[in-house]
Amino acid sequence: TMGLFRALVPLLVLHLLGGSNASLVQLKDNGYEDIIVAIDPDVPEDGEIIEHIKDMVSTASTYLFEATEKRFFFKTVSILIPETWDANPEYKRPKHESYKHADVIVAPPTLPNRDEPYTRQFTECGEKAEYIHFTPDFVLGKKENEYGPSGRLLVHEWAHLRWGVFDEYNEDQPYYSAKSKKIEATRCSAGISGRNSVHKCQGGSCSTRSCKINPTTKLYEKDCQFFPDKVQTEKASIMFMQSIDSVVEFCNEKNHNQEAPSLQNLKCNYRSTWEVIRESEDFTNTTAMETPPPPPTFSLLRIRDRIVCLVLDKSGSMSAGSRLTRMNQAAKLFLMQTVENGSWVGMVHFDSTASIKSELIQVRSNTERDTLVKSLPTYANGGTSICSGIAKAFEVIRKVDPQLDGSEIVLLTDGEDNTAKNCVNEVTESGVIIHLIALGPSADPAVTQMSNQTGGNHYYASDNAENNGLIDAFAALTSENVGLSQKSIQLESKGLNLNTSAWMNDTVTVDSTVGKDTFFLVTWTKQPPSISLWDPNGTLTANFTQDTVSRMAYLSIPGDAKVGTWIYNLQAKADSETLTITVTSRAANSAVPPITVSAKMNKDTNTFPSPMIVYAEVQQGYVPILGASVTAVIESSNGHTTVLDLLDNGSGADAFKDDGVYSRYFTGYSENGRYSLKVRAHAATSSTRRSLKHALSRAAYIPGWVVDGEIEGNPPRPEADENTETILENFSRTASGGAFVVSGYPNTPVTDPYPPSQITDLAATPEGEEVTLTWTAPGENFDVGKVERYIIRISGSMIELRDNFDAALQVNTTDLVPKEANSKETFTFKPGNISEENATHIFIAIQSVDKSSLTSKVSNIAQVALFIPEADPDPEENNSSGVNVFAVVLSVVLSVVVVSIILSTVICVIKKKNSSAALEHIC
């Protein structure tokens, strides 16, 4: 198994899911400020990369300004340089900038030779994406033939990242049957000219021939490719192929190819990219400039040693229940296991005043860790002065580092403090990053503001120890600026309330990507439990260190923990006992990325009844893991818990099927205040695997150009080795997704506020004179429950169906009984007469209705063609190398996943009275 993992490139992942607003970019006076370009520490030192980044951004700024009708440009950019690179007087220190906030990451390829630039984008049209990934070879200009100039391509990816638009090519559906009854290449605008050919090279010799039609699909064969003309005049579009010299614009409503099966059409309801950009907040808040913008300015920021100071609340309210003990248990996990070697750590306690308990110590071994553990508070009393605690932390940090920039404060508090707002501005301007852990429902709102404004993380832990929220929060506080191989990874986090002699029995899997520094932590609230732990060989593991004062026991596995299933048995020794177990580990091999799970909500704050979306990303390095079992646990301030099975099925809240992002709507509000998110992931079956698919939202690979009537081809794009796909072992992971805040929850019961979710994967297949539809069932409340009925309508006009659904011809669905949400629905019907004359396709859409008569949004539009398309004339016979310029979709149009539809038969649904014998024969 390890051999398969080593097939992946050595890679350190720096950008896991951040908060919903991870980017620090601001738009001021038409210029984007505070853009962060981060160089991965696994990239070997090369000063040319920095210079090429500058050139790329500068060129992109000019191209962006012209492409957006003189509206946007790049103003200030920080380049984050890894600590593994040598120091340089030109390099300054980061402030709030970190890899968590990176907009562009320069890192090794996702898989060997995969140098394709892409944007990690898994939300809906018009919503910001996560980050852009460029490889060093791409930045250095070594892939320009395949992908085009880097500056232009940055603008293509920026449109994905900032405005949530999508590509206008489609490698899954490169061709479609046009309204002109021709086979056309998927592109925008349709005015882009080129040749459809099969071009093969072997041993230095190349051959070109016309494309043949596949008799099953009625489209061009698999090896057929669209080769654009090198010289042409068409100006649009940047989201199709910005590398064409003449392309300087986004497609707008005048030249948009509305019928091509591009992801832009499928995800954005057939609107052009420029229409989506025009509706963005950026566009509405700016006006066009009259003069050209200045060139971008760059800051070179080098990562340095981590400096973190714990600021711990020991006020009187911390004596309630077991808060002080639970804080110490979690803080000990952080000090003994989570914080990385080489970090500087200090500690401050506060109540109505504050005191320094430990100056900054650089952690190099367990000796420093043990010293810090001894500084934790042993009692709690007094008031709450958060600002006093932060001021003392500033004092601690300045003794080692007069500049506070980039230092971190982990602030744990459980109480209100009406003076906390007095130091918000000072904290925000200091350069310190505040990570907030709010314990219980009463932590002051001002500290949330501090955390948000300094780019820190925000966690919430309830008083319910069974949910292990406090330990999860401290376990999540790994450095944002080190390679993944150095980070502590949580394998297990579980708790139970038990009575005397009851057992907590379960297993935890140590897979081959982890095993170093494996740490088992058991906690209790009343009496030490009986603890038994067996390794995968069945050997009983003893020697847990017991800390009765902190009510915890722990065990460090020397060397690398054995790969396989570890069995634990915990037996309670008191009634109403709460036992928890936490297991953490690190990467076994710095050259093999460990499997990780990271999670977030789509918003940090929300107002009832607006739904939220949970996102969990399962990856190995940058490679998505598919087919995992992923569960989210959301807990409110009063301890109300909602459990959601997250899905990667491309329906409901999940935007794309099989992209390694597992999603679900959350509507289970129970009160106002903070909620916490925790996610568990494990290998579900033998079908859990790595994804070998090329990333969505990426630059088009240019197969070659047509120059003077001849094709000048590029080498074929590298594909992944299939033996890297299947995961042959189990794994388990847990992760905290932080906290979010809800307001507006009513005091009185509310009638059903949630309609069914939109159907986004409607597909249609003709079968003789009938059409069979398939889709994923929505729910009574978005993607939960069962809808009451479906409304299916058809039309000969896609736009009429989209814009005037209620007026289209309705299909009889009397026999269609809806299934539970996320089930597969199938329905076959015989289309009736549609009103449009000269229709070339039948277009179909669905709306669902719940028992409260709330209706969903109209689904994506599926379609079937009513003709067999014609191939291009042979260029050798007709001396023509162009392609037709207008297009319409042959295949089913999907909003989420691009799926090819096989038309094995041609159906005729428009039958005329007294039709000729010839027509009857055709139909």
Note the pLDDT tens digit of each residue in 81-122: 999 999 999 999 998 899 999 999 999 998 888 899 999 999
Q: Which of 113, 109, 117 is nearest to 147 (CA)?
A: 117
Asked if 489 and 585 touch (Cβ cutoff 8 Å), the reply is: yes
What gap in Å lies between CA 923 and CA 916, rounded to an integer?
A: 11
Amino acid at 150: S
Q: Which of 533, 324, 297, 284 is nearest to 413 (CA)?
A: 324
Q: Which of 428, 358, 343, 367 is nearest to 395 (CA)?
A: 358
What gap in Å lies between CA 792 and CA 774, rounded to an integer?
A: 12
CA 102 to chain centre: 14
Quickly name the fold that domain 305-463 has.
Rossmann fold (3.40.50)
Q: At 387, is the secondary structure helix, strand, or coil?
A: helix
pTM value is 0.91
- Tokens for 469? 């929220």
| Residue 506: CB atoms within 10 Å | 14
- Tokens for 33? 């400020």
Q: Is the peptide bond before 609 cis (omega within 30 degrees of 0)?
A: yes
Angle (CA) 272-274-276 rounded to 5° is 75
Amino acid at 785: G
What gap in Å lies between CA 571 and CA 469, rounded to an integer?
A: 22
Cβ density class 870-882: b for 16+ within 10 Å, e for less: ebbeebeeeeebe
What gap in Å lies between CA 777 and CA 822, rounded to an integer?
A: 5
Residue that the structure tokens 């993944």 belong to: 484
Domain ranges of the chain: 26-166+277-302, 175-257, 305-463, 763-865
> Strands 31-33 and 73-74: what pairing?
parallel
pLDDT at 372: 98
Active site residue 157: yes
pLDDT at 892: 34
DSSP secondary structure string, 325-383? HHHHHHHHHIIIIISPTT-EEEEEEESSSEEEEEEEEE--SHHHHHHHHTTS-----S-
Angle (CA) 184-190-194 rounded to 5° is 65
Q: pLDDT by residue (tens digit) across 467-502?
A: 999 999 999 999 999 888 999 999 999 999 999 999
Asked if 257 and 189 touch (Cβ cutoff 8 Å), the reply is: yes
**Residue of 97, 130, 146, 157 with catalytic role:** 157
Contacts of 727 (CB under 8 A, 6+ apart): 625, 683, 688, 689, 690
Burial of residue 282 (number of CB atoms within 10 Å: 0-12, 13-18, 19+): middle
What gap in Å lies between CA 714 and CA 707, rounded to an integer?
A: 13
Residue numbers in the chain where pLDDT is lower than 70: 1-21, 720-728, 874-923
| Residue 15: CB atoms within 10 Å | 24
Asked if 29 and 128 touch (Cβ cutoff 8 Å), the reply is: no
DSSP class of residue 285? T
| Residue 11: CB atoms within 10 Å | 23
CATH class of domain segment(s) 763-865: mainly beta
